[in-house]
Amino acid sequence: MFNRVLILSASAGAGHLRAAQAVERAFAESGAAQEVLNVDTLAYTNKLFRNLYSKAYIEMVNKSPELLGWLYDALDKPWRNERRRLALDKLNTRPFVKLLKDYEPDVAVCTHFLPAEILSWLQAKRRTQTRQAIVVTDFDVHAMWLCHHYEQYFVALDETRAHLERLGVPAEKITVTGIPIDPVFAAEKGKREMRDRHGLRQDVKTLLLSAGGFGVGPVERIVQSLSELKTPAQVVALCGRNDDLRRRVERAALQARERAPHVSVKAVGYTTEMDEFMSAADVLIGKPGGLTTSEALAKGLVLCVVNPIPGQEERNSDHLLEEGCAVRCNNLPALAYKLDRLLADPARFREMRRNSLRLARPHAARDIVSKLLALQR
C-alpha cells in the first residue's frame, strides 16, 4: 500500500482531468493508498501561463484547428525541443514544485505531459525521489510525453508500446492498459432501462452527439445535417459546460423538427450520467478524443467521426477506422447519407459493435493501480 499518491493532470481539454479522476477513483475503490491528492497542475502556475495552456487550446480547437494540427506535427520530434519546453515550464511552475516538496508523495501519476517533464527534471537534479508513472491519454504517443526519468508508461495500444520501444523506452517500463476511464463504464446497464430513465424512445436508433466536456465543435451544423436522415432516429446532443451552445442547439432542434419530424433532438448540458446516455445509445457522433472514445468503446458503441482535430484526434481516428469500429465523415452535407447507409446494414453494424467491444479496456484505471502496487513490492 502507498502512503500518499499524487495524481497530476492539466485542464487543457477535459480528457486529462477525466483520466485523473478515473485513476483517483480506482485508488479509492482498491484501498491501495492511505491518501490520494488529485491536482490540476495549472492551478499551481501563474495566470498568464494557465491561460496559455487552457484557454488558448480551446480557442484553437474552435477557431484554428489547422494551426493546432500544425503545432502538433511540428512538436512531434522525439527527444528534440525538450530543453526549450522545460525552460518555459520551470519559469512558470514554481508553486507546483513547492506542492511536490511539501506533499512528498510515494508516487505521482501524470495524465498530462506538463507535470511529467517537470518531475523528470527534478529527478535528474536529485531534487525529488518521487517515482512517477505516465498515463498517455490518446491512442498514439506524442514526443511531448517523452521523459528521461520515470517508473512506468501506461499506454492504450500494443502499437503504442512498440512505438515507445523503438524510441528507447525499455519494454519492462511500458504497460498496455488502455486509457483510464471511470469504472462506472464497466457496469452493464440495460439499453431499455436507460432509455426509459432519460425519456428516450425505444423504437428508433439513438445517436449520441458529443461536443466534449467544454462544448466545442460545429454541433449546430451537425444537428442540421442529421435532420436529413431518412432513418427514424433520436439525437441526444451533449453540450458539455457550454450553456450558450445548449441554447443554440435547442433552437436548431426546433428548426430541424419542422423539416424532419421523424428525427428528434434532445439537448443536454453538463452531465455526470454519460455512462447512462452511452448505455442508451447505438452510435456516438463527434470528435475522437481519447477519453470519450474509450468510454464509447466500453459501451460497445459504433463511432461516427466528424471533422477530427488535426493531430491527436486524426491519429485516434486512424486507429478506430483500422480496427473496424468507426466510420468517418469529412463533409457534413454527406453525414446523413453515411449514417443511413450504416444503419441500413444490420450485419455490418453488429460487426462494428463487436469490434468496439474487442478494442475496449473498461478496467484500465484498475489495471494501472494494480501494476503500480506490483512495482512497489
The pLDDT assigned to 217 comes to 63
Average the pLDDT over 53-57 and give the result. 66
The pLDDT assigned to 58 comes to 67
Say if 2-181+362-376 and 187-359 have the same CATH topology. Answer: yes
Which residue, among 275, 264, 302, has the nearest Cα to 286 in the 3D structure? 302
Query: Domain extents for the chain?
Result: 2-181+362-376, 187-359
Confidence of residue 54 (pLDDT cuts 50, 70, 90): low
Give the helix ranges, DSSP H, for 288-328: 290-298, 312-322
pLDDT tens digits, 108-123: 999 999 889 888 888 8
pLDDT at 90 over 60: no
Instruction: Give the number of C-alpha atoms closer than 13 A to the C-alpha of residue 105, restricted to the C-beta side.
Output: 23
Confidence of residue 220 (pLDDT cuts 50, 70, 90): confident
The percent of residues in the chain predicted with pLDDT above 70, rounded, is 90
Backbone angles phi, psi at 134, to 5 degrees: -115, 120
Average the pLDDT over 67-81 and give the result. 75
The pLDDT assigned to 284 comes to 97
Average the pLDDT over 53-64 and give the result. 66
Give the helix ranges, DSSP H, for 150-289: 158-166, 191-197, 219-226, 243-259, 274-280
Q: Hey, how many other C-beta atoms are within 10 angstroms of the C-beta on 86?
A: 15
| Least confident span in 92-101, 198-207, 208-217, 331-340 | 208-217
In whole angstroms, what is the distance from residue 136 CA to residue 159 CA?
A: 13
pLDDT tens digits, 299-342: 999 999 998 888 889 999 999 999 999 999 989 999 999 999 99
Average the pLDDT over 247-262 and give the result. 80
pTM comes to 0.89
- Contact by Cβ (8 Å): 41, 115: yes
- Contact by Cβ (8 Å): 265, 249: yes
Average the pLDDT over 224-230 and give the result. 91
269-295: buried (b, 16+ CB within 10 Å) or exposed (e) per residue?
beeeebbbbbbbbbbbbbbbbbbbbbb
Cα distance between the two ends of the chain: 9
The percent of residues in the chain predicted with pLDDT above 90, rounded, is 59
Structure-model confidence comparison of residues 324 and 269, the more confident one: 324
Mean pLDDT over the full length of the chain: 88
Confidence of residue 154 (pLDDT cuts 50, 70, 90): very high
pLDDT tens digits, 155-166: 999 999 999 999
Domain 187-359 coded CATH 3.40.50.2000: yes
The pLDDT assigned to 61 comes to 66
- Cell numbers 500518499 correspond to 4
Regarding the domain delimited by 2-181+362-376, which CATH topology (the fold level of the hierarchy) does it fall under? Answer: Rossmann fold (3.40.50)
